[in-house]
Amino acid sequence: MTEYTNEFLKSLLSNVKRVAIVGVSSNPVRPSYFVARYLSLKGFTVIPINPGLAGQTLFGQEVKASLSDIKGPIDMIDIFRRSDAVPAIVDEALGAFPDLKAIWMQIGVMHTDAAQKAEARGVDVVQDRCPKIEYQRLFGELRFGGFNTGIISSKL
């Protein structure tokens, strides 16, 4: 697994605002749904991508069938697809968004050749990580047990 410095990840997450999530689900128990929802609640504009849900609304945005259906710039692509789908997604992203800052591949998603292609174009790449987990960890939202219960209590 590639190691990423805290400074690199924090800078990346601080400098992206508009995120396309490829492979988002409308099922609230799926990781792609709660990661997208979390990012939208943190102030990111989340553009959901799923051809089976195209035209519906999630997180205040219309679901698009593909990256090329998005109007305007995207700062980061977050990929919730199998690793073998990554090269086509990276190619589409690099073609559609000349100012793309980052490609993020979720936990378990990796593709060395696609990552190298994106990096050669000046795009930061993170593989096998979750932006929700990293955001919580780096911006002080995780407690000792590794999760945020959302419950305020004076008991220890």
Give the start-to-end residue ranges of the domains of the chain.
6-138
> Among the CATH numbers 1.10.760.10, 3.20.20.140, 3.30.300.130, 3.40.50.720, which is that of 6-138?
3.40.50.720
| Residue 140, pLDDT score | 85
Tens digits of residue pLDDT in 100-123? 999 999 999 999 999 999 999 999
Q: What was the pLDDT predicted at 148?
A: 52
What's the rounded mean pLDDT across residues 47-76?
97
Query: Would you say residue 35 has pLDDT above 60?
Result: yes
Phi/psi at 17 (5° precision): -125, -35
What is the identity of the amino acid at 38?
Y
Helices 131-138 and 31-41 pack at an angle, to 10 degrees, of 40
> How much is the pLDDT for 153?
46
Q: Is the pLDDT of residue 156 over 80?
A: no
Q: What predicted TM-score, i.e. pTM, was given to this entire model?
A: 0.87
